[in-house]
Structure 1
Amino acid sequence: MPPTGDDPVELLGDLIAIDSVNPDLVPGGAGEAAIAGFCADWLGARGFDVHRLEKRPGRPSIVAVARGTGGGRSLMLNGHLDTVGLTGYDGDPLDPRIHDGKIYGRGAFDMKSGLAAMLIAAARAVERGPLRGDLLLACVADEEHASFGTEEVLESFTADAAIVTEPSHLEVTLAHKGFAWFDVIVEGRAAHGSRPDLGIDAIAKAGHFLVALEDWGYRLEQGPAHALLGTGTVHASVIHGGEEASTYPASCRITVERRTIPGENADTVRAELSAILGDLAARVPGFRSHLRPGLHREPFEADRDAAIVHTVLRHAERALGQPPTLRGEPFWTDCALLDRAGIPCLLIGADGGGAHAATEWADLDSLHRLTDILTDTIADFCS
């Protein structure tokens, strides 16, 4: 039996009750300090060697290590501490409520369920022990924005394999899309609205780009598809232009998001955009523009022959009574950073729904199953 207080549902309720809104998403958000402190105390009380990483003041990540006896493989479990905002949530987002086999609250699904499961699983596996390889728990900041938490962890820690416990409905995620953001600045010429002979309407010129962008999206839909992810996509996210009704706009800025699949990256997206803008410059009189790159993250694809993949699949099949579904995610996760650092990894998490929505919940049965899968995987992989 697990030690008293080491119940994943109880722990998940405690985590939901801690405000950990990402302040890069919501100015004034609480950040990760309180929940990081809670996790550090919880893990320290169970004998883990706890490290607090805090390059950005008030935005800590925690790495807790259970040292192995030697000669075994090391494993890192990764889960993020931050959530999206509380405004607009239906009810009290920090009051965990259990009803009909589900637990409700902000972060219940994304992803405090995975965080609770990995902490309990780690404690149980160490108690079951001994483990030959090191076990690391990375409780990271800022995944919902720029993932500087995992980046900071990887500056000081590594492992032979990793599992990210983002929600996945107990399906095994072996790939996910990346993204690249670019600002397209279409240039015009400011002039009084009565002087079309002097002005160039940047917003009207930008319309040509928007039509080309839509056509680009259609072409992507018809292009080569990844087996788990389908094709890449593109859309216009934000548009800014103009000063006032009586002035020709001097510029119009369009933020473009391109979701990428393996084989695509920020460089290939920039080349695609440059070709579109070059074509418009050649065809549309007075069309001038320039590109400004923004944040980009790489897509991810697991090595299906990696030992961690086989280990998780084996224990998931035992817990579920059938082989788990393999899936790809349209969204980005920290798996890509772990993979880029040379750490074979995959993603598996709880069932539920309402990520970033007005009502969020996690399925309690799936929470217990996930905890069992992670416990057995740790004991097997690190033995």
Structure 2
Amino acid sequence: MPPVPPSAPDPLDPHDLLARLIAIDSVNPDLAGDGAGESAIADFCGEWLAARGFEVHRLDKRGGRPSVVAIARGAGGGRSLMLNGHLDTVGVAGYDGDPFDPEIRDGRMYGRGSFDMKGGLAAMMIAAVRATAGGPLRGDVLLACVADEEHGSTGTEEVLESFTADAAIVTEPSHLEVTLAHKGFAWFDVVIEGRAAHGSRPDLGVDAIAKAGHFLVALEELGTRLAQGPAHPLLGTGTVHASVIAGGQEPSTYPAHCRITLERRTVPGENADTVEAELTAVLDRLAAAVPGFRYRLTRGLHREPFQADPEARIVRTLTRHAEAVLGHPPVVRGEPFWTDAALLDRAGIPCLLFGADGEGAHAAREWADLASLDRLTGIFTATITDFCS
């Protein structure tokens, strides 16, 4: 009797697909100058999905930073669902081991992006194929594999210029917990104005760094007031911290300027406008109370917080199937970090976050729990089938 040949890898095995995604360097070049970007992984995802009958659109307005939207067209009369996951990862400097050599130990797959968030990508890709394997559903299934989430979210912004859906799931890692809210952020530069003069001439100089000290104390006091104020039920309160400070030229010169970059994390009900008014009030009080205190306030990058409607159909549908797979009602939570869900919500697409378990996002060692990946794939498959039928 001839020997039985080894079985070929299951083409719809989420473990195998995750390993193949990890092996592709997709470090965001806006975070690391030598990052490979998303071209290779976008090619892989596009070809993998096209081979399985999906209509594939490649978007690359920036040039060299592509996103892919793959569509399984519905038969008509059903709701459309978009699953959104990002292709890019953070850098690998200081990573413990080979970040692009997926390794399985103790039910975990290690490698850069395994948790954040190639596990979510693998689950949503395989779930979409499984859900449509028996023929088209009534509604369209869209897979948005996007660039640049880890920096500027230009990928999802570009996708939303051309595509929409009746609902969306952002497949960021969430430990199989239903995430219905996350914080936003606003960056500001505060330049405290001094007057340059020789260090021997205090009668002529104004020390911008010393004046900035008054603002840093006031900023810490603002953070304390925020922590003691009204809290969002899932997110707690907003926060503020000084991130970067620069000023002065040499020991013997009074500094003419001191620049402080700060970050304000926001909760629903707060935005860049409310934060600017809050900071202006703090700075104006200092200008009135501290002799010679002058400032300039400049708004930088800002992103809105996100809050889903817990009664939205996509939330209820996914929660029901998660409970069936997990054997208990899933935990409902909020996240302190920002995601592309806020962009989808602003575009009028009801959405939530739901993803795999694991650890090590942006850390020296990163892993995804493979049992959770299997559960996630099953939950997505059932949710797609139900929602789009």
With normalisation by structure 1, the TM-score equals 0.99
How do 1:334-345 and structure 2 match up within 5 A?
Answer: 334-345=340-351
Q: Supply the AA of the counterpart residue of 2:248.
A: G
Q: Secondary structure at the match of 1:210?
A: helix
- Distance apart, 1:188 and its partner CA: 0.6
Q: 1:46 aligns with which of 52, 67, 89?
A: 52
Query: 1:73 — aligned with what?
Result: 79
Quick one: distance in 2 between partners of 1:152 and 1:99?
Answer: 38
- Distance apart, 1:5 and its partner CA: 1.1
Query: 1:20 — aligned with what?
Result: 26
Structure 2 stretches lacking a partner, 5+ long: 1-8
Runs of 4+ aligned residues of structure 1 deviating over 2 Å after TM superposition are: none
1:61-85 CA-partner distances (Å, limit 9, x unpaired): 0000110000000000000000000
Residue 134, structure 1, aligned to residue 140, structure 2: yes
Quick one: distance in 2 between partners of 1:51 and 1:185?
Answer: 45
1:259-279 CA-partner distances (Å, limit 9, x unpaired): 000000000000000000000
Q: Secondary structure at the match of 2:19?
A: helix
- Distance apart, 1:130 and its partner CA: 3.0
How do 1:171-320 and structure 2 match up within 5 A?
Answer: 171-320=177-326
- Distance apart, 1:129 and its partner CA: 3.8
- Distance apart, 1:4 and its partner CA: 3.7
Q: 2:355 aligns with which of 349, 356, 363?
A: 349
Quick one: distance in 2 between partners of 1:19 and 1:195?
Answer: 56
Asked if structure 2 preserves the Cα contact closer than 8 Å seen for 1:221 and 1:231, the reply is yes
Residue 146, structure 1, aligned to residue 160, structure 2: no
Q: Supply the AA of the counterpart residue of 1:310.
A: R
Equivalenced residues, count = 381
Q: Secondary structure at the match of 1:191?
A: coil
Quick one: distance in 1 between partners of 2:93 and 2:52?
Answer: 35
Quick one: distance in 2 between partners of 1:314 and 1:231?
Answer: 30
Asked if structure 2 preserves the Cα contact closer than 8 Å seen for 1:26 and 1:85, the reply is yes
1:243-297 CA-partner distances (Å, limit 9, x unpaired): 1111111101101100000000000000000000000000000000011110000
Q: 2:12 aligns with which of 6, 10, 14?
A: 6
Q: Secondary structure at the match of 1:248?
A: coil
With normalisation by structure 2, the TM-score equals 0.97
Quick one: distance in 2 between partners of 1:342 and 1:153?
Answer: 14
Asked if structure 2 preserves the Cα contact closer than 8 Å seen for 1:189 and 1:199, the reply is yes
Asked if structure 1 preserves the Cα contact closer than 8 Å seen for 2:72 and 2:136, the reply is no
Residue 96, structure 1, aligned to residue 79, structure 2: no
Quick one: distance in 1 between partners of 2:96 and 2:18?
Answer: 19
Quick one: distance in 1 between partners of 2:198 and 2:231?
Answer: 49
Q: Supply the AA of the counterpart residue of 1:62.
A: V
- Distance apart, 1:121 and its partner CA: 0.4
Q: 1:58 aligns with which of 28, 53, 64?
A: 64
Quick one: distance in 2 between partners of 1:245 and 1:271?
Answer: 35
1:151-203 CA-partner distances (Å, limit 9, x unpaired): 00000000000000000000000000000000001111111111111111111
Structure 1 stretches lacking a partner, 5+ long: none
Q: Supply the AA of the counterpart residue of 2:115.
A: F
Asked if structure 1 preserves the Cα contact closer than 8 Å seen for 2:127 and 2:381, the reply is yes
Quick one: distance in 1 between partners of 2:218 and 2:135?
Answer: 59
Quick one: distance in 1 between partners of 2:134 and 2:378?
Answer: 13
Query: 2:4 — aligned with what?
Result: none
Quick one: distance in 2 between partners of 1:316 and 1:36?
Answer: 29
Asked if structure 2 preserves the Cα contact closer than 8 Å seen for 1:129 and 1:379, the reply is no
Quick one: distance in 1 between partners of 2:252 and 2:135?
Answer: 74
